[in-house]
Structure 1
Amino acid sequence: MYCRLKKTKCHYAPDGCQKCRRLGLACVVPLEDQRKHPASKSEIKELRERVAELEAALEAARSQQKTAPKPPHRELGVTETLSQSNNLISRLTQRDWQLNSNAEGQFKFFGPTSSVHLTESISISLLDSCGAAGINEDDLAINDLDPDTQIHLLDVYWKYQHTVLQVFQKDTFLKGLQQRQPKYVSKALIYSVFACAARISPRADLKALALPRTEDDFGDDLPYLLAKATQYTEEELKRPRITTIQSLLLLSVLNSALGNDTKGWLLTGDACRLAVDLGIHKNDAMKLPPGNLSLEDVQSRQLVYWACVVFDRFWGLYLGRPFCLNATDIPAQEAKWMAVNSSWEAKMAYAWVSLLVIIGDICDVLNADVRAYEQLDDFDRKLQSWRSNLDPSLQYRKGCPASVSSLNLQYSAAMTLLHQPTARFGSRPEEPSMRNAYSRRQCITFATAMASCLQNFQQQHGDVTALSGVALHSISLAATTLVASIAEKKSVDVSSQMHSLKACVRALGELETTYLVARRVRKIIQLIIRVCHLETDYVESQQRPVPVPAISTSPARLVDSSVIDEVVVEDLLSLETQFGDGPVMSEYSPFAFDAHLPMSAQFDIFHTFDAEAVVGPDTFSRTN
């Protein structure tokens, strides 16, 4: 061994070599032969030792992440102890639902009859998961829209869309967006939000990114923002998470606006299935190991589940089809939800889901092969109770937020839908009852209320183009109810009903610029109005004044069923409101038939059917 400090050979000695002592230098002698062990290899050796330490620490951490003990439960009449439930045999044979967490923190749900949870849980807890790829925060960068445009789109979304079809918490979304945290924000969700906002934006250049300019432009090529949202959502489906569910729900709305009902319905179905896959319908922190879910996690999962229920009920209502999700324990969930989140946004979310659950129950009865009409009275009480218990900030009033207007429209539509079957529009019951008369009054009252709400919205916002697309069903329901009432000539207030019908048709005409399918609905309603000669009959009735007979409305008279049969039903068949000089036809042309529905052979066919109907007994006229 030699001293290498001076790069001079010397003989080692305890007190230093001779040359170092003469020069007064410290004699540095390596402990190992550096000729056979270069300095770079020593660094590698240290790194290997460090890696070995880290691997040992990682293995120790994994050993602590094995499945936590299950609480004692009975199986085949034998009570298992806590220690038994934690062993491998218990995991192989247990019969309770599970939420297994993967390496990225996403949960997977497996029910008691499944055995798939074995491969999932073993692969996560026993096998190496270091190869799982993370999500790069750079994936959230949006480079094709300038910052001002992004801010504008978010402002539009918060104002008109967010609290109507709420799929996430605003604070959580903005936090993830600003801090580039990809857990609750993704490109798929961002582009879906931008597309929803661009659809109703007052800027034509942005609207063109979410909607085709005309019906002729709509083809296989999707508008830019919708195409981007669809692309990123399909990519995200390979490794789905909560943002995937939210993106699917928003995409279903966008496809509905374009008239792609089947695709929109399927997208919501995919979202509901994925919610079950991720265990969001079992948002019970008590059945999860401590620390697995933060407060933000619980709130986000709860809100996404409610969003799935709301969208599922809306599509079932809109298309008259069965639902995907069973909405259970909503009141209990509300108590837990409000305990941790009492914001106005949270109250609105619960108001929507609780209303849609009642509407879903109504749809189940009305869509059944055998309708249990005795349940309708109970639904009437539930709807009235829902409204009376509504938070004061959510009560409808003139000048209220757009989402409150949409909520009020949906409540009125639910009441109308509930009473339509027993209102018996278009039929002449042999024995008219108090139920028939009450249901008719309810239908007309709430249809008129919806028209009034639309007019208030127009006055406040200029038009209804920013109204949520879910209002389409409510508007069409109000319009068809008013058409049925006017056509039967059973109401003394034809003028008010025609005014309300006019408001509904005008609203459909405005809504079709952002919700293209509304154009089809408007055309159909206009066609029915024209075929039934409603406007012509209305003007003629004003030009032929008819005295209005007095009708007693005292409580004693209303209780007498014979009086109701005689006056409320029979006399209303021939009553017409007394007016002064009737206006000319052009003054009462709110429907602009010819501008959108030119005369054609199709109209000739409808007029033929109408003429043939006149030959026989007139359905809407009173027979002597």
Structure 2
Amino acid sequence: MPEAKARSLRNRRHITIACWPCRDDKIKCDGATPVCRQCNAKNRNCLYAEVDRRNRLSLRKAVEAYSQRVKQLESFIRAHDLVLPPTDPEHEALLNQLSTLYAPNESPNTNSSQETSPENAFNKHPRLVPDLVNTPAADPSDSPQALRLDPLDISSPSLQAILQAPADDVEAPSMNIPMQPNHSTTALPFNHCFDVDWVWDHSMMAHMDSDIGIGGLGTWTPNSDGQLPQENALCSSSDPSPPTLPDDDDSTDDEDHLAVTNQLSARLGSLLTTDNGEKHFYGATSNFNLARGGIVSALYAKRNEKERQAQARLEAVGLDQSISSKLEDHLLHLFFTWHNPSLYIVDQNTFNKARKQFEQGDVKTSFYSPFLLNTMCAVGALFVTRKYPGLPSPLGEFFASRATTLLDIELEHPQIATVQALAILSSHEAACTRDTQGWLLSGMAIRLAIDFGLHISAKPYVEAGTMSTEEARGRSVAFWGAFATDRMWSLYLGRPFHNISQAVTMERPISFLQQQGNHWTEGTSQENRGPEDELLNYQEVTVGQWVQLSRIMSPLEGSLYFQADASKTELQSLAEKTWGQMLSWRANLPKELNLDLESPMPAKCVPHILVLHMLYEYLVILLHRPFVAKHYIQPYPQVGQGHQHAREMCVRSASRISVLLSWYEKWYSFSQINIQVVQITFSAALILVYATVSETNAQNHRQLTGHLEMCCRALAELGNIFNNATRTLDVLLHVKRTWQARLVAASAGSKRRGFAVTTESQSKRRSKSDDENR
């Protein structure tokens, strides 16, 4: 190993011990012995402080030295044909691993006829390996020379006792960890998972308070039989990310591949499995991320007990009516057809499979729960107008009340289905104008999604075999659905959103797509479906474009609408950059999602593609609306294209939303549409109200009025299924009347002022003419 020797002998940049003359002169010392370079050049006496150098003892080198010593003993034992006790089978694998990792060089004193490879020697004969883990630290009073391996002295009585073959009734020597670890020494109480490359540094112990109790440190305790726990049980890591090695010029052989140091320095978290069977995310600051692959204790109710409690609670509040599976399937179909595609939060295939497993008695599925079923039925019931005998009316409120009743029990044992259900229930609360409840439920969903680690990449776990592709896809759909719902609420209520975009590494659902070419169907049954009802879904492509658009807008939304101390120049620069990215997004839209809004009505497409284009135009309005005012946040001198450009962009996008609504009404119906269209239509109508009351050109006024009537009619029909649409329409009419009154008053005041100025100028001219005539 010439390369390793050269590396170990290279000069270090820093040393820990300098000689006394160099310390007094405060100059750099190279630490050479017996005389350093500075003292040698100045021809002076070089003295070093007496320091215990055992803190620099490398465990790797110690193991190699002990292994070489054991090999000498084995050669001696084989030469004398001594009988050895059998090796403990429990430790055989560990000893083989040690012999492989720390195979010493052949001793030059060994007879060539007896030389053999370490592996063959260990396989042929049992070995004597010292218990390095529990070797107590040497007494500080001992000299460093005590660590030297002396030649074998066979006359030693203790060695004779070791080499003597045991009798039949004598138990073989055990190499197990003692029942009570020796804490009297200064050695740190490592558990069995410590990395063998750890460098001993007893100097750190001097800074520890001697009054600290060892029992409070949570050290490892042996099993009841005193045996080491199975290594793979706790050391197997579910985190597939490889450890990073430091690129430090000061690294030596003693500091290579320090897995313990790398784990301690980790700044990213990992997924851990709790005792309820769910994977949860723990970051580096929690310190739980060091328990990789282990079980983190968490007190949750048992699932069987949860089902019994849920049924009892529904009976107590009178919501335990029997619901036919046919009605549930119908409501679920409405949910998957009209709501889920635009706020994609539940993968239908994963849900159906989990539901079937649950009905067959497997309650351990993560993607189904009665709580989730009731929330999906509550949203699906929004699209139903008929009444069902034996069930309360409105049907959506009935299922929402059932879900709310089950909420507390669900949170006692949360799962990924809980994340989905909270986000879906928040959409129902938005439709019922319960803003506070919906805002809280959406926040709970995104918080719980982070708790389950849905925001971190699932691909490494799939590649490592610790997570199936189906589970990874379900996690991806659940996260991005919760993320989309949270963003919808932030825009809907104009409140700061929980921006976690920088911490998100989760792939889009299309990354885990197992089959291509699925179809979207409008009909509720096979009899009602025609060829025109089956359209290509493009669900995953649509979600991917939505995610990309959301990432583009995230920095601007936080600064433009919620950062009070942002300068006008900064806002203008950020808006211009964002606008360029949005134009690039629109230009690079996949062909299957692209719609030409300036041309006549294209071929029929699925509803969520129309909603995607509405969302884009809505974000264009949000981007330009603050810059409509001439002096509000427009920098002076002018930067960018100015307020006139902002007005044109807002009016154009509002008109395009009206066009998209007309297409949607032609192909489908406003009684079957996603709830986020309410806010989109409201914002577009508000811009059109502003444009119509201030437009003076008759032809432009007629066009804008037509677009405004389209938006108002859409809000009126949306009010039949969403109560918040009725509320927005009332606010819109109030704003229109207020703005019209102000503009009329301003126009009348301008005319009066103009008439007064004209009268005054005419009187002045008459007075001047009279003076001249005189």
The one of 271, 276, 279 equivalent to 1:99 is: 271
2:446 alignment counterpart: 272
User: What amino acid sits opposite 2:716 in the alignment?
Assistant: G
SS of the counterpart of 1:64?
helix
SS of the counterpart of 1:100?
strand
The one of 152, 155, 161 equivalent to 2:333 is: 155
C-alpha distance in 2, partners of 1:138/1:274?
Answer: 21
C-alpha distance in 1, partners of 2:587/2:356?
Answer: 40
Q: How big is each residue's C-alpha offset from its partner over 1:376-424, in whole Å with a ceiling of 9 and x where there is no partner?
A: 2222222222223333332344532221221111111111222222233
Q: How big is each residue's C-alpha offset from its partner over 1:45-100, in whole Å with a ceiling of 9 and x where there is no partner?
A: xxxxxxxxxxx9xx9997533132584446897799899647xx997886652321
C-alpha distance in 2, partners of 1:358/1:242?
Answer: 27
User: What amino acid sits opposite 2:410 in the alignment?
Assistant: E
1:404 alignment counterpart: 609
C-alpha distance in 2, partners of 1:71/1:610?
Answer: 66
1:508 alignment counterpart: 715
C-alpha distance in 2, partners of 1:113/1:123?
Answer: 18
Q: CA deviation at 1:528?
A: 2.7
SS of the counterpart of 2:421?
helix
2:108 alignment counterpart: none
The one of 457, 466, 471 equivalent to 1:297 is: 471
Is 1:254 the counterpart of 2:428? The answer is yes
**Cα distance, 1:435–1:426 mapped onto 2, change above 3 Å:** closer
**Cα distance, 1:503–1:115 mapped onto 2, change above 3 Å:** same
2:177 alignment counterpart: none
2:369 alignment counterpart: 186
Q: CA deviation at 1:366?
A: 1.7
The one of 354, 358, 381 equivalent to 1:198 is: 381
The one of 452, 473, 487 equivalent to 2:693 is: 487
The one of 233, 236, 243 equivalent to 1:68 is: 236
C-alpha distance in 1, partners of 2:347/2:665?
Answer: 28
Q: Is the 8 A contact 2:442 2:486 kept in 1?
A: yes
**Cα distance, 1:334–1:248 mapped onto 2, change above 3 Å:** closer
C-alpha distance in 1, partners of 2:692/2:629?
Answer: 14
Q: How big is each residue's C-alpha offset from its partner over 1:216-260, in whole Å with a ceiling of 9 and x where there is no partner?
A: xxxxxx921001122223311111110010000001101111111
1:537 alignment counterpart: none
1:467 alignment counterpart: 673
1:589 alignment counterpart: none
User: What amino acid sits opposite 2:436 in the alignment?
Assistant: T
TM-score, structure 1 length as denominator? 0.66
Q: CA deviation at 1:104?
A: 4.0
C-alpha distance in 2, partners of 1:143/1:387?
Answer: 49
C-alpha distance in 2, partners of 1:331/1:410?
Answer: 24
Q: Is the 8 A contact 2:671 2:718 kept in 1?
A: yes
SS of the counterpart of 1:194?
helix
Q: CA deviation at 1:280?
A: 1.3
C-alpha distance in 2, partners of 1:90/1:267?
Answer: 38
User: What amino acid sits opposite 1:364 in the alignment?
Assistant: G
SS of the counterpart of 2:585?
helix
The one of 572, 594, 607 equivalent to 1:395 is: 594
C-alpha distance in 1, partners of 2:301/2:435?
Answer: 37
The one of 452, 458, 465 equivalent to 2:665 is: 458
User: What amino acid sits opposite 2:372 in the alignment?
Assistant: L
TM-score, structure 2 length as denominator? 0.54
Q: Is the 8 A contact 1:196 1:210 kept in 2?
A: no
**Cα distance, 1:426–1:189 mapped onto 2, change above 3 Å:** farther
Is 1:227 the counterpart of 2:434? The answer is no
- Work out which of the two has the higher radius of gyration on C-alpha atoms and give 1 or 2: 2
C-alpha distance in 1, partners of 2:234/2:505?
Answer: 35
**Cα distance, 1:239–1:101 mapped onto 2, change above 3 Å:** same
C-alpha distance in 2, partners of 1:225/1:131?
Answer: 26
Q: Is the 8 A contact 1:413 1:474 kept in 2?
A: yes
1:362 alignment counterpart: 556
C-alpha distance in 2, partners of 1:315/1:240?
Answer: 23
1:320 alignment counterpart: 494
Query: Is 167-176 or 322-331 further displaced after alignment?
Result: 322-331
C-alpha distance in 1, partners of 2:299/2:708?
Answer: 64
Q: CA deviation at 1:270?
A: 0.9
C-alpha distance in 1, partners of 2:625/2:726?
Answer: 24
| Aligned residue-pair number | 477
Q: CA deviation at 1:130?
A: 13
Query: Is 416-425 or 326-335 further displaced after alignment?
Result: 326-335
User: What amino acid sits opposite 1:66 in the alignment?
Assistant: L
C-alpha distance in 1, partners of 2:486/2:299?
Answer: 38
Q: CA deviation at 1:460?
A: 2.0
1:36 alignment counterpart: none
SS of the counterpart of 2:502?
coil
Q: CA RMSD in A?
A: 4.3
C-alpha distance in 2, partners of 1:174/1:399?
Answer: 28
Query: Is 352-361 or 441-450 further displaced after alignment?
Result: 352-361
User: What amino acid sits opposite 1:359 in the alignment?
Assistant: M
C-alpha distance in 2, partners of 1:395/1:515?
Answer: 29
C-alpha distance in 1, partners of 2:643/2:464?
Answer: 57
Q: CA deviation at 1:164?
A: 0.7
**Cα distance, 1:95–1:421 mapped onto 2, change above 3 Å:** closer
**Cα distance, 1:295–1:338 mapped onto 2, change above 3 Å:** closer
The one of 382, 391, 399 equivalent to 2:581 is: 382
User: What amino acid sits opposite 2:544 in the alignment?
Assistant: Y
Query: Is 436-445 or 256-265 further displaced after alignment?
Result: 436-445
C-alpha distance in 1, partners of 2:289/2:633?
Answer: 60
Identify the structure with the greater helix proportion. Answer: 1
SS of the counterpart of 1:281?
coil
Q: CA deviation at 1:209?
A: 5.9
Q: How big is each residue's C-alpha offset from its partner over 1:264-290, in whole Å with a ceiling of 9 and x where there is no partner?
A: 111111111111111111234437993
2:734 alignment counterpart: 527
1:423 alignment counterpart: 628
C-alpha distance in 1, partners of 2:686/2:426?
Answer: 26
C-alpha distance in 2, partners of 1:169/1:195?
Answer: 18
1:588 alignment counterpart: none
The one of 160, 167, 176 equivalent to 2:354 is: 176
Unaligned runs of 5+ in 2: 1-223, 312-319, 518-537, 596-601, 759-774
**Cα distance, 1:223–1:458 mapped onto 2, change above 3 Å:** same
Q: Is the 8 A contact 1:159 1:402 kept in 2?
A: no
Query: Is 294-303 or 429-438 further displaced after alignment?
Result: 429-438
Query: Is 499-508 or 287-296 further displaced after alignment?
Result: 287-296
1:542 alignment counterpart: none
Q: Is the 8 A contact 1:210 1:226 kept in 2?
A: no
Q: Is the 8 A contact 2:454 2:479 kept in 1?
A: yes
**Cα distance, 1:101–1:613 mapped onto 2, change above 3 Å:** same
Q: How big is each residue's C-alpha offset from its partner over 1:130-177, in whole Å with a ceiling of 9 and x where there is no partner?
A: 998456998999972212212211221122111111112111111112
C-alpha distance in 2, partners of 1:390/1:362?
Answer: 21
Q: How big is each residue's C-alpha offset from its partner over 1:335-376, in whole Å with a ceiling of 9 and x where there is no partner?
A: 982676766322222222222233333312321222511222
Query: Is 424-433 or 376-385 further displaced after alignment?
Result: 424-433
C-alpha distance in 2, partners of 1:332/1:255?
Answer: 28
